[in-house]
Amino acid sequence: MADQEMPAPGAVTRALPHDSARAHAAGTALYVDDVPLAANALHGAFGLSTHAHARILGMDLAAVRAAPGVAAVFTAADIPGRNDVSPFAGDDRLFAEGETIYHGQALFLVVAESHRAARAAARLARMEYQPLPPLLTTAEALAAGSVLEPTQLMGRGDTAAALAAAPRRVCGELEIGGQDHFYLEGQIALATPQEEGGMHVLSSTQHPSEVQHIIARVLGRADAEVTVEVRRMGGGFGGKETQAAWFAAAAALAAAKTGRQVKIRLDRDDDMIMTGKRHEFTAVYDAGFDEAGVLHAVSLELASRCGCTADLSHAINDRAMFHADNCYFYPAVSIVSHRARTHTVSATAFRGFGGPQGMLAAERMIDHVAHELGLDPLEVRRRNFYAPGRDMTPYAMRVTDNIAPELVAELARSSDYEGRRAAVAEWNRARRVIKKGIALTPVKFGISFTTTHLNQGGALVHVYTDGSILLNHGGTEMGQGLMIKVAQVVADVFAVPVETVRVCATRTDKVPNTSATAASSGTDINGMAAYNAAEAIRQRLVAFASRQFSVPEEAVRFTPAGVWAGAERVDFTELCRLAYFNRVSLSANGFYATPEIHYDRKTHTGRPFFYFAYGAAVSEVAIDTLTGEHKVLAVDILHDAGRSLNPAIDLGQVEGGFVQGMGWLTTEELVFDAAGRLLTHAPSTYKIPTASDRPARMEIRLWAAGRNPSPTIHRSKAVGEPPLMLANSVFCALTAAVAAAVPGAGFPRLDAPATPERILAAIAELKARHG
Amino acid sequence: MSLRFLLDDELITLEAVEPAMTVLEWLRLRARRTGTKEGCAEGDCGACTVLLGELAGGRVLWRAVNACILFLPMLAGRALLTIESLGGTHPVQAELAARHGSQCGFCTPGIVMSLYARSIGGLGAGQSVEDALAGNLCRCTGYGPILATARALATHPRDDTSTLAALRALAADPGPKEIRHGASRVFLPASADELAALCLAHPRARLVAGATDIGLWVTKHLRVLEDEVIFLGGLGDLRFIEETPEALRLGAMVRYAEALPAFTRLHPALGRLVRRIGGAQIRNAGTIGGNIANGSPIGDMPPALIALGATLTLRWGEARRTLALEDFFIAYGEQDRAPGEFIEAVTIPRPGPEDVISISKLSKRFDSDISSVCGAFNLRVEAGRIIRARIAFGGMAATPRRARALEAALTGAPFTEDTLTAAAPRLREDFAPLTDLRGSAVYRMEVAGNLLARLWAQSQNETADVRELADG
């Protein structure tokens, strides 16, 4: 296994820059839109539905076809295979048929000589609709019985009786907004027809295998006839897990029909209108506890707006349930989850995948308990942490790797939480207009796809006769540094400099049947698969060197100074050359399947996760009680990346995840109008954090003692998603500041995102309660 | 009939110029310089940041601007630099890579160009790194490594010798002042007098200053520009800034970034407002005159300028007239500007020490956002009494407008907290705001009134702005 401590000069654990860092800064890193086109290439644009729910009575595309530069127009009728671009449920149409089910749904594709010509033509369709009443909100859909699947239930014990018997009780509700991914590079695909019906597609996707399969399905072709390739994405965050397939399939359809290369690059507004976002949630909690703040029973009711199709909503809502405990033991628990089907864009994967919403509900409930008892919320958090004998999750998985208590204790100490909490209280006593709040919240995030079969990875490693190494694996690069981390792993297998390992585009014709780069699993599964591939080659080299130099295999050692065969030293390059001449294969594929995990979705019990990743953050905020404006003043983070493969990359994930989570909970507001139209569909109206929103003081550290007790690659831990939820501390601190604005009025009702308007409204509501 | 500009100091001459083609399209599709990225095509994300250079006082003035909403004719007589111009090994690039300042890398070229502009002393180089980067969105890093790079960077003056020579040669032989493309005519006047004559001859022509709004008409609304377009970038004589003890007078073509120091000297609150207009690239392109002429109900300058008593000088041929700024805005989309007339200058009286001035821009995000409410207060207080009140709001009506009922309630009253509190409800007589994506009518009304309480707190030197707080 690759879990032993590595010798000092290895690549693993070094803070190496991203493999493309210099190319990024030089502007030479190629994205799909930068690839030179064939002289006769066409550009596509979609015609979009202007109704959230309507019957399509007529679609007159004559003006579209006649527009300048237009080469062809395609509708559902032109699809040779199936009009289905869904990941599994069969309900996502490439083009609407018969009715539209959300505002912005694709109706047709026009391809033209230029991007602008295609966009202009797409707006010329004459549509005839019979509007139907749309279900736009979660509440409307649930009232009408419009759901994706029956309400799901997870739990243990007689919660109702335990709640009734508890000495104290609080109830509350929290609304949590969605979030647009706002990857800087919008959705894009470039399809190039090949001979004999083959199709090559460059796609900005986190899931090339699924894109391949969907293109084959739409074209009525075999998977083997379609090759999908992605070198890098300009950001993904979950937004290119399922969503990229539509655009790749549409480009492939048009390319197959016209025999010409076709590029589809979405304009930013179209991208934000057409593609899915993080799920909006409503959480209702009912907590029973004692005077010490120890929970006796918890009843949580979650409801989410899944939009018009299933997409990945089943698993996303499951993950919300899995994280509604966070780090806390609920002796008796009932978690109910409603999945509303609405006439809005289908909600999809987004960093955290439902976990953030479930976890935020837990933190809100704990804050409420603490407020009720007049205790420091951190103390209440600690008293409810999982502990020996109190270690069973609501889904019947035992928490055996719990480091939350130690990690939180260290952060509380290093951040001077106590002292600063006192200073905040003092400030709030003395000041009228500006109020402050501080909060420390922990994160425990389950690592593995909860759909068990997805936990597999593949890799292909070639060693050439000059000793250079080409690395392929099923994972995709979206900026998270997957390629450099896996390259470090492979370099260490041969004890060569990491520069020896060349990373390249992920391609379905090199590593097949891969899982999405998602669920924070990229390094865990692909790193281990690549390790296995490299190790297979190394074993062959060891056997060969043993024969060649007449030493036992145990005497063959790979070191930075070369390969030792007993007392004899040979350069790695020389060994590779010799091996080739002696007809030893220097290419291997590797495979990895995460062990030990299983899950029964019918009962919502099992061991869905291989392990948990932990972290904690302290945020200190200030609010303006006159305007609702706020600022995050300081943040301290301690995060567990296990034995970090690359601390620089991992710290980047922690900071980036935190700031993205902060945006979700503060400035990023998706506004839909009464007709179901998204009004915030561009950066002019949808506000992700900018440079000055970064807290001026951020202390971010990886937990030095971190080691994964589970045998992951070098005992590292996944780091893509968990840090996003560190931003829950911002929301809890804002809630505390609002409470301080009207002391004695009760626990505030603050919803997310906490825009200035919502903060002012929460203060007003407290004042009204106060009388 | 050609367009002439410099790219890496080399003269580029384009014979056929589509007036509504953006510089970004030209770079990516024609020049095949694909390092400059399209992230939003509306001047908000900065992935397309390039540098424009122009002659200014015997040197080259460089500005970081958004190529996505810059029309090709706006390059006339300018020097253009792109990420490719830097060669890949400039200290900005090396530092950013070494400090882990990129993750997905898509925003990185734009960030490099913004930092490069700062490092060579471009327009706005004196601003904070946060201000310099407010127009460059990054979704991956959380900004820490980028800010650290920016802070660590020394200045690296650019050797502008050859650019200077080439720009001078271009200025000496500027080429045609009119470019035709099919039915469209593009005019490139070089002075206000030329513009006045052009406007008389072509009174329906579209005037384009910084294109920070008109650019979106093309990239987002896919509108076709008028057949006659007058690009104003060559009007160096409308780029004057005159500061006298009585007033600040600005030529209409002064860019926000150029006016910022003078605005700050006029009143610090005005400076704080202007530094929040767009990102640096927008402040480097957008003009004071363009912002007013555009007539947007949510433009950030008008409320403050109205409260400060600004007047406009409008020119029609050789005739000039002066107009109070608030009278310029007649109704939504309608301004007091005759065909063929243009804004030549804005004059803002200098406030006295007895004037209590408070300007607040409220938005979901602090930087580079459009205000939900923008309120500007200018109270003259003598012997404890408010003897004159000029109060204007944006975001509360179809045009930027004065709050006459509130002004009347305050005028003559003692300057006390009670007066302000009692007068606040009068805003209901002045405004009936709308609910939109930036805020509800209820919020707008409540917060507009609360700005009086903020004004009082500020006058008592109480911290009333979270952005002024020290870090925790």
CA distance B146 to A679: 31
Measured CA to CA in angstroms, residue B374 lies from A213, A626, A690, B363, B429 at distances of 52, 14, 20, 9, 18
Residues B6 and B143 in one domain: yes
Q: Which residues of B touch A648 (CB under 8 A)?
A: 100
pLDDT one-digit tens code per residue, A426-456:
999 999 999 999 999 999 999 999 999 999 9
3-state SS class at B258: helix
Residues of chain B with Cβ-Cβ distance to A233 below 8 Å are 104
Which residues from B are below 8 Å from A268, CB to CB?
39-42
Closest to A301 measured CA to CA, from A135, A141, A137, A152: A152
- Judgement on whether residues B247 and B118 belong to the same structural domain of the protein: no
Mean pLDDT of A597-621: 97
Sole residue written with tokens 């409008």: B314
**B471 and A CB contact within 8 Å:** yes
Query: How high is the mean pLDDT of chain A?
Result: 97
Residue B209 belongs to a domain = no
Q: Is the backbone of residue A90 left (phi > 0), alpha (psi -120 to 50) or beta?
A: left
> By CB neighbour count within 10 A (0-12 exposed, 13-18 middle, 19+ buried), where does B6 fall?
buried
User: Residue B421 forms beta bridges with which residues?
Assistant: none
Question: Quick check: B21 contacting A, CB < 8 Å?
Answer: no
Side-chain half-sphere CA neighbours of A262 within 13 A: 30
- Together in a domain, B20 and B160: yes
State the pLDDT at residue A656.
98
Q: How many CA atoms lie within 13 A of B77 on its CB side?
A: 21
The answer, for B86 touching chain A at a CB cutoff of 8 Å, is yes
| pLDDT score recorded for residue A4 | 46
Question: Is residue B76 in some structural domain?
Answer: yes
Is B342 found in the same domain as B367?
A: no
Which of the residues in chain B have pLDDT under 70?
1, 470-472
Alpha-carbon Rg for chain B in angstroms: 23
Euclidean distance between CA atoms B87 and A46, whole angstroms: 38
Task: State the Cα–Cα distance between residues A16 and A264, nearest whole angstrom.
Answer: 35
In a domain, B264, yes or no: yes
Phi, psi of B151 (to 5 degrees): -70, -30
Q: Which of B156, B176, B196 represents a domain boundary (last residue)?
A: B176
Q: Which helix (H) or strand (E) holds A43?
A: strand A42-48
Please tell me whether residues B333 and B379 are part of one structural domain: no
Does any CB of chain A come closer than 8 Å to the CB of residue B222? yes
| Domains of chain B: total | 3
Contacts of B72 in chain A (CB under 8 A): none
- Report B:364-403 residues touching A (Cβ under 8 A): 364-370, 372
For residue B374, give the CATH number of its domain. 3.30.390.50
Tell me, yes or no, whether B193 lies in a domain.
no
Domain containing B377: what range? 355-471
Give contacts of B109 with chain A, Cβ < 8 Å: 24-25, 27
Smallest CA–CA distance, residue B111 to chain A, in Å, is 9
The verdict on B376 and B340 lying in the same domain is: no
Residues B377 and B315 occupy one common structural domain: no
Task: Mark whether B118 and B265 lie in a shared domain.
Answer: no
Interface list for B 224-263 with A (CB within 8 A) = none
Query: Looking up tokens 């602090």, which residue turns up?
Result: B366
**Domain finish residue from B349, B377, B411:** B349
Res B300: pLDDT: 87
Q: How many helices (H) and strands (E) does chain A have?
A: 19, 29
Tokens of B67: 């190529």
How far apart are the CA of B10 and the nearest CA of chain A, in angstroms? Answer: 20
Chain-centroid distance of CA B108 in Å reads 23
Strands A54-60, A126-131: parallel, antiparallel or unpaired by DSSP? Answer: antiparallel
Q: Tell whether B319 is covered by a domain.
A: yes
Chain B nearest CA to A478, separation (Å): 6
Q: Are residues B342 and B422 in the same domain?
A: no
Residues with Cβ within 8 Å of B300's Cβ and at least 6 positions away in sequence, in order, are: B273, B274, B276, B277, B291, B361, B371, B374, B394
The answer on pLDDT for A353 being more than 70 is: yes
Measured distance CA(A176)–CA(A278) in Å, rounded:
10
CATH number for the domain spanning B12: value is 3.10.20.30
**Active-site pick, A229, A655, A669, A721:** A721
For B251, phi and psi rounded to 5 degrees? -65, 150
Put simply, the answer to whether B39 touches A21 (Cβ < 8 Å) is no
- Model pLDDT, residue A6: 46
Same domain, B2 and B114: yes
Task: List, in order, residues 6 or more apart from A700 with CB less than 8 Å away.
Answer: A635, A637, A639, A651, A654, A655, A658, B144
- Report which of A360, A285, A357 is spatially closest to residue A319, judged by C-alpha positions: A357
CA pair distance A6, B460, nearest whole angstrom: 63
Enter the DSSP assignment of B74: G
In this predicted structure, what is the pLDDT of residue A1? 44
Active-site residue A406, yes or no?
no
Q: Which of B297, B317, B349 is the last residue of a domain?
A: B349
Q: For residue A606, give how far its alpha carbon lies from the nearest alpha carbon of chain B (Å).
A: 34
Q: Whole-angstrom Cα distance, residue B256 to residue B207?
A: 18
pLDDT at A8 over 70: no
Q: Across the interface, which of A432, A631, A660 has its CB nearest the CB of B469?
A: A631
Contact flag B142-A659 (C-beta cutoff 8 Å): yes
Contact B364 A756 (CB under 8 A): yes
Strands B334-335 and B329-331: antiparallel
Nearest to A486 by CA among A464, A509, A461, A512: A461
C-alpha dihedral (B163, B166, B171, B174), degrees to nearest 10: -130
Output the pLDDT for position B323. 97
Eight-class DSSP state of A716: B
What CATH number did the domain enclosing B278 receive? 3.30.465.10
Q: Output the 3-class SS for A496-536.
A: CCHHHEEECCEECCCCCCCCCCCCCCHHHHHHHHHHHHHHH
- Please compute the mean of the pLDDT values over residues A709-733 and round it to a whole number: 97
- Residues B437, A123: C-beta atoms closer than 8 Å: no
SS3 sequence of A342-389: CCCCCCCCCCCCCHHHHHHHHHHHHHHHHHHHCCCHHHHHHHHECECC
Tell me whether residue B314 is in a domain. Answer: yes
What's the gap in Å between the CA of B129 and the closest CA on chain A?
A: 9
How far apart CA A370 and CA A292 sit, in angstroms, is: 9
Residues of A in contact with B213 (CB under 8 A): none
Q: Exposed, middle or buried: residue B69 (CB in 10 Å: 0-12, 13-18, 19+)?
A: buried
B330 shares a domain with B373: no
Q: Is the pLDDT of residue A3 over 50?
A: no
Between A and B, how many CB-CB pairs are < 8 A? Answer: 294
In a domain, B389, yes or no: yes
The CA-based angle B35-B41-B42, given to 5 degrees, is: 130
Closest CB to B140: pick one of A25, A123, A235.
Answer: A235
Which pLDDT tens digit goes with each residue over A15-45? Answer: 999 999 999 999 999 999 999 999 999 999 9
Same-domain status, B342 and B276: yes
Tens of pLDDT along B146-194?
999 999 999 999 999 999 999 999 999 877 889 888 888 999 999 999 9
CB contact under 8 A, B35 and A27: yes
List pLDDT tens digits, range A152-201.
Answer: 999 999 999 999 999 999 999 999 999 999 999 999 999 999 999 999 99
Region at A146 (left for phi over 0; alpha for psi -120 to 50; beta for the rest): beta
